[in-house]
């Protein structure tokens, strides 16, 4: 992937994250407000989290590819307590969601839901990618899709 952001800058911006060769494009993408998911060039399947080999066909021909940002809530929990984390307020309480991305059945991304009343959130609700800030970096969150 072509990017104006160097490996060194990615490491500097995520000092508490284990950035490695397999996931560096993911974090590079976040800094450019792009949600990148690895896609296999051999079979076309998407997979997340990033791995060097396609779990479907074992090809190493993988490209970090921007997703549409559309999906549905697959799993949803509300945390009333947890480890301290930047931008997380457990008093609210804090929603943690697994979003199934529109690109492929079973392609899921763990995130949080913003700009929503807790009572309106449910499994199967269409959501769309939006960006919040955590620890000074862009963070991919999801919000209910416009009706």
Binding of Zn ion at residue 59 (CB under 5 A)?
Answer: yes
Q: What angle do CA 91, 96, 52 make, to 5 degrees?
A: 140
Cβ closer to Zn ion: 57 or 123?
57
Tell me which residues in 34-53 interact with Zn ion (CB under 5 A). Answer: 40, 42-43
Q: Sheet holding 70-79: strands in order across?
A: 108-111, 94-101, 70-79, 126-134, 137-144
Sign for the pseudo-dihedral over CA of 75, 142, 55, 8 = negative
What's CA 125's distance to the chain center, in Å?
17
Single out the residue of 35, 36, 54, 107 in contact with Zn ion (rule: CB under 5 A): 54
CA proximity to 67, closest of 97, 46, 43: 46
DSSP 145: P
Q: Looking at 9-17, 56-64, 86-94, 103-111, which segment touches Zn ion (CB under 5 A)?
A: 56-64
Q: Looking at 1-9, 33-41, 104-112, 120-128, which segment touches Zn ion (CB under 5 A)?
A: 33-41
Q: How far apart are CA 24 and CA 96, in angstroms?
A: 24
Question: Least distance from C-beta 44 to Zn ion, angstroms?
Answer: 7
Question: Least distance from C-beta 54 to Zn ion, angstroms?
Answer: 3
Cβ closer to Zn ion: 60 or 118?
60
Binding of Zn ion at residue 63 (CB under 5 A)?
Answer: no
Binding of Zn ion at residue 1 (CB under 5 A)?
Answer: no
- 101-120 footprint of Zn ion as x/- string (CB under 5 A): --------------------
């Amino acid at each position: 992937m072509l990017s104006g952001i160097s490996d060194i800058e990615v490491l500097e911006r995520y000092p508490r994250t284990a950035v490695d060769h397999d996931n560096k494009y993911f974090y590079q993408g976040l800094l450019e407000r792009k949600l990148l998911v690895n896609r296999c060039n051999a079979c076309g399947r998407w997979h997340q989290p990033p791995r060097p080999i396609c779990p479907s066909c074992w090809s190493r021909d993988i490209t970090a590819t921007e997703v549409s940002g559309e999906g549905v809530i697959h799993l949803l929990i509300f945390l009333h307590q947890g480890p301290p984390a930047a931008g997380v307020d457990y008093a609210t309480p804090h929603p943690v969601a697994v979003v199934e991305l529109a690109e492929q059945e079973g392609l899921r991304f763990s995130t949080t839901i913003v700009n929503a009343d807790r009572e309106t959130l449910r499994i199967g609700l269409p959501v769309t990618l939006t960006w919040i800030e955590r620890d000074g970096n862009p963070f991919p969150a999801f919000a209910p899709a416009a009706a």
